[in-house]
A and B are shown apart, each in its own frame.
Chain A
Amino acid sequence: MKTLHLEVKDMHCSNCAMKLQALEDDLPGVTTVDASYHTQRMKVVYDETVVTPESIMDAVQKLGYTPDLS
């Protein structure tokens, strides 16, 4: 298991954080997502044998957000 910390500066309400958290269910290999609108950050715990940081960032982008490695 690995952890990826991302900065997502375009979360504009708590609902955005919830949408990002749903990646837990939607992206295989992602076990937990803690996204916070308050801090504009998200922490992703993932299985590196199943998913890559790049594909996690892609998935975040597909949801309409711009992730940055922090």
Chain B
Amino acid sequence: MLSLWVAFITGLTTGGLSCMAVQGGLLASSLANQIEKEVGGPGTKTKQKKSPKIALPITLFLTAKLIAYTLMGALLGALGSVLQVTPTMRAILQFLIAIFMIGNALRMLNVHPIFRYFSFEPPASVTRFIRKKAKNKTSLFTPIFLGALTILIPCGITQSMMAGAIATGSPLLGAALMFAFTLGTSPVFFILSYFATKLGSLLEKQLVRVVAVVLLVLGLLSIDTGLNLLGSPYSITKLLQTNTQPKVAEMLPVESQSANVITLNVVNSGYQPNVLQAPADTELTLNLITKNTNSCSRAFLIPELNISELLDQTGTKSVLIPAQPAGKKIAFTCSMGMYTGEIVFN
């Protein structure tokens, strides 16, 4: 899963700009009268003249947008929880998200016309309806209404986040993800709203490549998550782990380790050690130890053995591992596919 921080930072950077390009015109046109009235027309100095009368409708617009997207995140997460049964299904969803993101990135890079279909195109009736509403500039209700309506015209990055919200499989996490992302986009919206409609298309043209690259990276990240959820030994996370961390790590003292008991410390940053050595051909007890652990590492999975445990924040949970032949490697991961490790039998 995309972590909340990644969602927030994505919103704050490329997401904000990309959404501004698509939805900014809507906001700016609904505010145009007020902006002109308060800070003068285009070409006049706008610095030091920011009036609360402009700030208010923008804030209302952004608040409505934030609420609408958070609710949508909850709905998408709920949808995901209905769909999502096993880590394998979640992995498949991650791959679909990856295809979607990479397709969108290739679309933005103009690789082939076929990739245009990765972009959601609202029907003319919907855009007509939104446009008519945007022309009504009289009340503060308009920015609220338009802010909420932005869910009908999500930008490419927002659409990817929405797919991510489905993948969380939880209304709460879905809502949190969309909240973090939309909150991240808000400062960009707020600042750029002062610069009227033209900026939208300008930004879109200049930053389209940056946005595309970010989507590509997010797409690859999503594939990586999917691979981890499948327990695949080949993923970027695992590759990085092998290169940056000691292979057989006794990073934390492992207490009272008898022949048939192995211990894994579940910490906020993942699993320690991330490569566990275990005797082959014998049934094992795997003790999972948490101590003030709050991250998603608490949702522990061994995809190959269909083991799935949600650990307490602090405590020890024992899991039985059936006998495995020598040389066998079994991957474990958090339920989001972010933190991984493996048990090596010998």
By a beta-carbon cutoff of 8 Å, the part of chain A in contact with chain B is: 12-15, 17-19, 21-22, 24-25, 32-38, 40, 64
A-B contact pairs, 19 of them (CB 8 A): A12-B110, A13-B21, A13-B119, A13-B204, A14-B121, A15-B22, A15-B201, A15-B204, A17-B127, A18-B25, A18-B122, A18-B127, A21-B124, A21-B128, A22-B131, A36-B121, A37-B121, A38-B116, A38-B121
Cβ–Cβ < 8 Å partners of A32 in chain B: 124
A13-B128 contact in complex given A18-B153, A37-B116, A38-B116, C-beta closer than 8 Å: no
Whole-angstrom CA separation of A17 from B120 in the bound complex:
12
Decide: B120 and A14 in contact? CB cutoff 8 A. Answer: yes
User: Does B53 touch A at the CB level, under 8 Å?
Assistant: no
Chain B contact residues: helix, strand, loop or mixed: helix
With A13-B204, A14-B119, A38-B121 as contacts: A25 and B135 at CB distance below 8 Å: yes
Name the B residues within 8 Å of A22 (CB-CB). 131
Q: How far is the CA of A25 from the CA of B121 in the complex (A)?
A: 20
The contact of B204 among A12, A25, A35, by CB within 8 Å, is A12
B200 within 8 A of partner (CB): yes
Chain B residues near A34 (CB-CB < 8 A): 124
Task: Check B117 for interface membership: any CB of A closer than 8 A.
Answer: yes
- Interface residue? B208 (CB, 8 A): yes
Contacts of A24 in B (CB 8 A): 128
Main SS of the interface on chain A? mixed
Q: Taking the nearest CB of chain A, how far is it from the CB of B158, in angstroms?
A: 12
Chain A residues with CB below 8 A from B201, complex form: 15, 19, 64
- What are the residues of chain A within 8 A of B205 when measuring CB–CB? 12
Nearest A residue to B208, CB-CB: A12
List 17 additional contacts besides A14-B153, A15-B153; criterion CB under 8 Å.
A12-B108, A12-B110, A12-B208, A13-B156, A15-B25, A15-B201, A17-B121, A17-B127, A18-B122, A18-B127, A21-B124, A21-B127, A22-B131, A32-B124, A33-B124, A38-B117, A38-B121
B137 to chain A, nearest CB (A): 14
